Amino acid sequence: MTEPITLLIADDQALVRGALAALLDLESDLSVVAEVGRGDEVLAAVRTHRPQVALLDVEMPGMDGIAVAEQLRRECPDVRILMVTTFGRPGYLRRAIDAGASGFVVKDTPARELADAVRRVHLGLRVVDPTLATETLATGSSPLTARERDVLRAASGGASTGVIAKTLHLSEGTVRNHLSSAIGKTGTSTRGEAVRAAERLGWL
């Protein structure tokens, strides 16, 4: 009998994490060897437990799943990455794939399909939620520069231009220019609308 495929699950919601682990452990060829609730706990758990596939949520405390995927690609390139998220946003898919993920599925994927996605990712295949793939192609890649993303993130809590400038070590004029550019690229009228549009599309 072949050894089961070993898995790590990273999700900040304990109930979701436990449910995923229970469902996947029912499969005779899959074995969950580690569970963590924060993105910044993933690397240490991977080094300790040596899973073959890491299932990562996108939005987690400590470090988001896309940043974790980039970290694992650098530090543990043998680990395959499957993003499993509530947030099926087109921009997330493209950023996750660019970061090194082999698959991207949403959490309401049926258990049988999720198990099959794990097997396919383990084999080195790419698995992407078909609806999300279509939306991503229609939306295109994010037009925002890295600095525009930083400024919009800093603006998301309602911070003033002066506070954003101090936080990011930029001049207020530069911040205003980046905000203006981001507003134009998102087709919105205000910084608040730009933040919401970018979040909805998964560009932040």
User: Which H helix or E strand runs over 127?
Assistant: strand 127-128
Burial class (CB in 10 A: 0-12, 13-18, 19+), 184: exposed
CATH number of 146-200: 1.10.10.10
Cα–Cα distance, 69 to 56 (Å, whole number): 8
Specify the CATH superfamily of domain 5-139. Answer: Response regulator (3.40.50.2300)
Position 86 pLDDT exceeds 90: no
User: Which H helix or E strand runs over 84?
Assistant: strand 80-85
Locate CATH 3.40.50.2300 in the chain: 5-139
33 vs 146 pLDDT, higher one: 33
At residue 91, the pLDDT reads 74
Spacing of C-alpha 24 from chain mean position: 21
At residue 130, the pLDDT reads 75
Most confident of 39-48, 125-134, 190-199: 39-48
Nearest alpha carbon to residue 12 among 72, 67, 57: 57
Phi and psi torsions of 11, nearest 5°: -155, 135
pLDDT (tens digit, 9 = 90+) per residue, 152-167? 999 988 899 999 999 9
Which residues neighbour 96 within 8 Å (Cβ) at sequence distance 6 or greater? 58, 65, 66, 69, 83, 104
Locate CATH 1.10.10.10 in the chain: 146-200
pLDDT (tens digit, 9 = 90+) per residue, 20-50? 999 999 999 999 999 999 999 999 999 999 9
Span 179-194, average pLDDT: 88
